[in-house]
Structure 1
Amino acid sequence: MTETIHPMNITIFGATGRVGQALLTEALNREHEITAVVRDVSRLKLEHERLHVVQGDILDPESVEKHAKGREAVISAYGPKFGMEEELLEAARSLVEGVRRAGTKRLLIVGGAGSLITDEGVRLMDTPSFPAEFYPLARAHADAYEIYSQSGLEWTYLSPAAVLEEGRRSGNFRIGIDRLITDEIGSSRITIGDLAAALIDELEDPYFMGSRFTAAY
């Protein structure tokens, strides 16, 4: 017998980005009620009877509290602009404070892959082949991860594969914890659609409460 999933009332930050929009689509397809918090409501063109687009700011704990209150979970797919990587830490602190104030225990974050451990035993971001221009963002994601891990909330942090590709969900991917997942030729990749599916799977059927997980082919 297939277990019936109870539709949830959730808030999503970062809904205008590539991952955020995929999360919206995935969650709506699974009949969840969504409040999408964006700085500029005109940037989100998607319309749906279960989607409520509101103006807010992830960097403001009061705004986070307002839009998290009464929700069963908060999801963040927030990503800063290039050169403003330190905003990730500000966003992490704001999310933790606002979600705590709102009394919403569940917090799920789509973060970075840089702090995943490779087969060589070092973080991906510390390998010689890691692009130097992406190191500040990877470091900020790693520091933000530490903030979430010490939050005391029911948090879950999803690190993507090393390469995040455009593409729809297949539903076929592997799940890991702290190690970078690679295929038989050493490639680590996943589509945005499948990354979104992995996070909504975790939302509906929690397995990595208080921990990080990763998804790749």
Structure 2
Amino acid sequence: MTIIVFGATGMVGKQLVQQALFKGYSVKAFGRNVFSEFDTDTKNLELIKGALFDEGEVQDAIKGCDAVLSALGGGFDGNDKTRTLGIKNIIAQMKKNGVQRIVAIGGMGVLNADEDTLILDTENYPKEMIPVGKEHQQAYQYLKESGVDFTFVCPPAIKDHEATGAFTTNADYLPEPNNNIINSGDLALFMLNELEKNEYVKKRVGISN
């Protein structure tokens, strides 16, 4: 399988690249600083320096891939549109290349609190997290309307730690038990496993260690 990782130089992105290579995938790592973060001689790894908002560069990067993994990050004040416009461009270029599968990272606020309310819209949701929560919500909307086979993973706080394999997941709602933290390695492990198992296609996923 050939996959491409957007946000490859971030905390989760690095884990995705490393674990995917360990699984024997051919991996494309896309980003502005990939050549300073990865060894250019790594077997089965192609480094692609590019701009996320550039349609041509993203289209060329996705060409020949079987699936897309998005670990896009950015600011928390609502002014950084990496998560929304980035996903929008990725989806458009997936369609041009005939690539149907994407597993992407969102945020816990996009999960359901109940049948009618997102966690993002509840009274206790941290006010300082609302702008980035709205960005995640818009990214989810783009995915829902796209027609691609997406899985939108909605983690709580992410800890920079290796995979343990000890985590819980749930479709569209918080998992049980929920400890409000997930290791970056476990988040990456779930995303890669989901590419193979397809248990949460066109679903949001709550996850926790």
- 1:61-210 counterparts in 2 under 5 A? 61-83=55-77, 84-118=79-113, 122-160=117-155, 162-183=156-177, 187-210=179-202
**Per-residue deviation, 1:74:** 1.2
**Cα distance in 2 between the residues matched to 1:19 and 1:64:** 20
* Post-superposition offset of 1:63: 1.7
Q: 1:85 to 1:181 in 2, by over 3 A?
A: farther
Asked if structure 2 preserves the Cα contact closer than 8 Å seen for 1:12 and 1:75, the reply is: yes
Shift in Å, 1:56: 1.4
Comparing 114-123 with 148-157, greater Cα deviation is found at 114-123
Partner of 2:16, secondary structure, is helix
Which ranges in structure 2 are unaligned for 5 or more consecutive residues?
Answer: none
Is residue 2:54 matched to residue 1:60? Answer: yes
Q: Check the 8 A contact 2:8/2:34 in 1, yes or no.
A: no
The one-letter code of the counterpart of 1:10 is I
Task: Note the alpha carbon deviations across 1:123-169, whole angstroms, 9 max, x for none.
Answer: 32233443322211111101110110110112221111x22222111
Amino acid in structure 1 at the alignment position of 2:28 = T
| Cα deviation code 1:86-117 (max 9, x no counterpart) | 33221121011111011111122111111112
Do 2:35 and 2:49's aligned partners in 1 also have CA atoms closer than 8 Å? no
CA contact (8 A) 1:181 1:188 kept: no
TM-score by length of 2: 0.90
Counterpart amino acid of residue 197 in structure 1? L
Aligned mates of 2:165, 2:85 — CA distance in 1: 33
Q: Percent identity?
A: 29
Cα distance in 1 for partners of 2:82, 2:179 equals 30
**2:149 aligned partner, one-letter code:** E
Amino acid at match of 1:105: Q
Aligned positions, number: 207
Partner SS, residue 57 of structure 1: coil
**CA separation of 1:191/1:152 partners in 2, compared to 1, >3 Å: closer, same or farther?**
same
Offset at 1:32? Answer: 0.8
Task: Please list every run of 5 or more consecutive structure 1 residues that lacks an aligned counterpart in the other structure.
Answer: 1-7
Partner of 2:43 in structure 1? 49
What are the superposed Cα offsets for residues 54-73 of structure 1, whole Å, 9 maximum, x if unpaired? Answer: 11122122222111111111
Question: Is 2:111–2:204's contact at 8 Å kept on the other side of the alignment?
Answer: no
1:12-51 matched pairs, under 5 angstroms: 12-46=5-39, 48-51=42-45
What code does the residue aligned with 1:104 have?
V
Deviations 1:23-79 (A, max 9, x none): 111111111110101123344234521211111122122222111111111111111
RMSD: 2.0
In the alignment, the residues of structure 2 paired with residue 124 and residue 18 of structure 1 have an alpha-carbon distance, to the nearest angstrom, of 25
- Residues 161, 183 of structure 2: 8 Å contact kept: yes
